[in-house]
Amino acid sequence: MCGISGVIGLSGETTHAPVDSNLVQRMTQALHHRGPDADGYYFNKGIGLGSRRLSIIDLAGGDQPIHNEDQTVWVVFNGEIYNYQSLFHTLTQKNHRFYTKTDTETIVHLYEEFGDDFVQHLRGMFALALWDAKRRRLLLARDRVGIKFLRHIPLPVPA
């Protein structure tokens, strides 16, 4: 069990408003009961992601958010990817470099390899938020059955 949170600041079609880092930290801390082992954050222009982690896979090195090789794709994740070991093998053969042994890292590399169709390769129960910094785009996804809950709550836009 883990918990994820995040805020994206929208101020127009192509620009992002600053994100209140205190809000993301408070939201994430409210999830402490879902992940008592670690917390982590990613903040950049217009985006803030938070994670509470219950360490199950890669206890020492799997703290989130997790990123790709050049730190342009970031993910926070709740769940378990059952086929992550075969995905890891396939992706390393395609020259992706992993810095953890966690199932979460396969997500960023699958996204690099397959774009929006990356979700089709995942077998498991999950909810995730993936930030593509190059395209300035946030993707939210959950498992097909909805075992892991994912909720989008629009915040009021400041005047």
Residue 6 to residue 20: CA distance in whole angstroms: 10
**Known catalytic residue: 73?**
no
For the stretch 29-34, contacts whose Cβ atoms lie closer than 8 Å and that sit 24 or more positions apart, written own/partner, are 30/5, 31/3, 31/4, 31/5, 32/3, 34/1, 34/2, 34/3, 34/78
Cα angle 73-15-111, degrees, rounded to a multiple of 5: 20
Is residue 114 within 8 Å of 121, Cβ to Cβ? yes
Tokens of 31: 């999830």
Is residue 123 within 8 Å of 96, Cβ to Cβ? no
Query: Is 133 strand, coil or helix?
Result: coil
Q: Active-site residue among 1, 2, 119, 159?
A: 2
Catalytic (active-site) positions: 2
